[in-house]
Structure 1
Amino acid sequence: MKIGLFGGSFNPVHNGHIKIAEFAYKTLGLDKIYFIPTAISPFKKKNQVAADNDRINMLNLALENFNYNSEVSLFEIKRGGVSYTFETIRYFKKKFPNDELFFIMGSDLLPKFHKWEYVEEMTQSCQFVVYKRSKNINKINAKKYGIKIMNNPIFDESSTKVRQGQLALVDVKVNNYIGNNFLYAKEIIHSLLTAKRAKHCVAAAEFAVLLAKSIKYDAKKAYYAGLFHDICKELDENESRAFISQFVENAYDRKLFPNYKLHQLAGALWFKHIYMNDDEEIYNAIKIHTSLALELSTLDKILYIADKICDGRAFAGVQKLRQLALENFDECFKQVVQRNIDYNLAKNITFSDEQNEINNKWSK
């Protein structure tokens, strides 16, 4: 049998990984391919990695539509520690002593391949195969160690891009898993937003947790509502309306969707349709975190307060409000609503009848 060994952190597995595996399977005439998630990659020791269980689950989801003989090997994860290739090859050589092994790796690893531990042993017991990650490839080590270079298309997908918020690069089932397990949340926030806005989101999330704990509410929900509430804050009006129009009719109607409501609606839609999180309570809290509504959940109030008085907000009386929030949640909510009304009136902002009704209900 011809057996492919495809290792990596798979943090997360993306469409490019699957395309590479399919290309290698057909090109090399494999009979089976093993996907081998690392415990700790020797090339990525400093990077934060999703939990082993999450990476395994995402791999299994991505492989549901993989039309070739495949299996996820837990050898490196069960072994723990830094994952070194020579140990993996020894394991599979012992398991399949009479079969051909093909170790599949990216061309970016070629330049330092000669420095790998037990390189001579590995190349004698296993055929190394490289997939191209760029047009320019250092072929010195390929020639020296008899490494095959596949003539594959260069795929643009990368796990880094996914962790930065390009979630369309993964299978929809993987995307849904990422969203519903709140994976890569902070990385996405810091990639899609400016440092100042991301800092505010983190501060709102942290204060939301304090509020939640003070009234015995779900701290995890509060945290992620705070973290994602301004995910679309930095889109301009045209960008916001264009994004909203993908999911909602009449997005360009300014009466239906005044400017001050755009970022909250866009943020909620991003959370639901791009991050693919199914939590309706968080979705609704983000959707009204600026305007509020006539009916509010506990999370709606937590997010509103956290956004307005978290660390980084500086105005006279903010410290007293923070203390009050942890002692008398409902009274603080009323005072924060009233302060926001006063702030906007001082800027000569005219409220709609709908907004006046909301303001009057929650400031009393």
Structure 2
Amino acid sequence: MTVPIAIIGTGIAGLAAAQALHKAGHAYRLFDKSRGAGGRMSSKRSEAGSLDLGAQYFTARDRRFVDQVNQWKAQGLVAEWTPLLYNAKEGQLSPSPDEQVRYVGTPRMGAIAKAMAVEEFTTFNCRITEVFRGAHHWHLLDAEGCSHGPFSHVIVAVPAPQATALLAAAPKLAGVVAGVQMEPTWAIALAFDTPLETPMQGCFVQGSPLDWVARNRSKPGRNDSPDTWVLHATSQWSKQHIDLPKEAVIEHLHGAFAELVNCAMPAPAFSIAHRWLYARPAGNHEWGALADADLGLYVCGDWCLSGRVEGAWLSGQDAARRLIEHLE
């Protein structure tokens, strides 16, 4: 009987690792604490429709990722997003067109992860709390006290602060990962019954609690009514208000949005807030993936590279490649 490889985390990094292992003919099992796949690429269903509260769009620069994006496009999972972009600085709004090609999942960002996660090989609603070595193989312990295994190798594909706790069996690896700082982001969505009278569809913001604003209906496949906007706070503001109640976060960021958009702004018909504790790495690393190959432990995530969606996918692929090479 083939002993499978365990992958903890079904964000893009974990899913990319699974994709590469499957292609090479290796059995795997995915675990995730959430109800569905995607991590920050997942979408939240709400009474205002499906909302991308995490990753807003992604870009493709590396040839390997470009090839992958083209495959997703062919499958109808991805489309180009060409928003009317603005910059906001010191209260002044100015158009900010650029040549950057931006992609979004369709009809929601979570469509990509949903297509990549094979349900029969995935265990959701399962928070892994410990990775330990038996006589010959690895085993995982979950928050309910249940053991999973045996596994020949383990790939940890979660944010660095969460990964550190799972690497007790590899102190050197744990030490490196513990040094990675990740920053939070408060995200909110506001829906208006009457569309706001602004041509803006995306905005990079400076000098405000807000960092980014996007009009949901401007993205392909999202002809939603009401007029829904997703707002991201800056890392600094999010850190300062990390434990603020969601209602207060919505009130603060709605106020900042009203200041930003120079038009009449009614009270939202719907609002929602989500706190991403580990939204982005504080610094850049060029690790690709991290490994203790002799032990059979591998670590990947967007924080191992650029912090972008592309970085997550490349990191997952790199972790799988290193593992496969070690087996050969």
Larger radius of gyration: 1
TM over 0.5: no
Normalised TM-score (structure 1): 0.27
More helix by percentage: 1
Higher percent of residues as strand: 2
| Structure with more contact order per residue of length (Cα contacts < 8 Å, sep ≥ 6) | 2
